[in-house]
Amino acid sequence: SVLRFLIPLIVTDVLMLFYALFLCFIARDVSSEYQEGTWVTASVLSIIQILILSIPVLVIVDNDTNAYYFVRVAVVFLMSFTVTSLIFFPKMYRFHFNNDPTTGLSFRRS
């Protein structure tokens, strides 16, 4: 009975991840100043990797509630932290350490 709800969620998630990869592929020719496709692609691939590694572990620890809870919390943390760091750390690095004065000004005005 749970699979009736779980399978459509998994299929939808996988389809959205592959659609995001497709959009990154389409936007690969955008100028590098505005392009975030590299980091979005890295985020999507890391989400896929975390899912591939976590699903068997969740199946293995299904009977132990403490371990199951810990693995689920770790998966949510890893996904959130990875996406946040891959999207925002390059921006913060460019903002603080870029020698181009016009880039810093454009960040400060927006």
Domain ranges (residues) in the chain: 3-109
Mean pLDDT over each residue of the chain, to the nearest integer:
82
- Amino acid identity of residue 52, one-letter, is I
Q: Which residue has the tokens 């770790």?
A: 74
47/18 Cα distance (integer angstroms): 11
Does 21 score more than 80 pLDDT?
yes
Give pLDDT tens digits for 49-89. Answer: 998 999 999 999 989 999 999 999 999 999 999 999 988 88
Quote the Cα angle for 53-56-61, to 5°.
120
Output the pLDDT for position 69.
Answer: 93
78/82 Cα distance (integer angstroms): 6
Query: In which band, very low, low, confident or very high, does the pLDDT at 33 lie, cut at 50, 70 and 90?
Result: low
Q: 3-state class of 42 per DSSP?
A: helix
56/60 Cα distance (integer angstroms): 6
Does 90 score more than 70 pLDDT?
yes
Q: Which two tokens stand for residue 6?
A: 């779980």
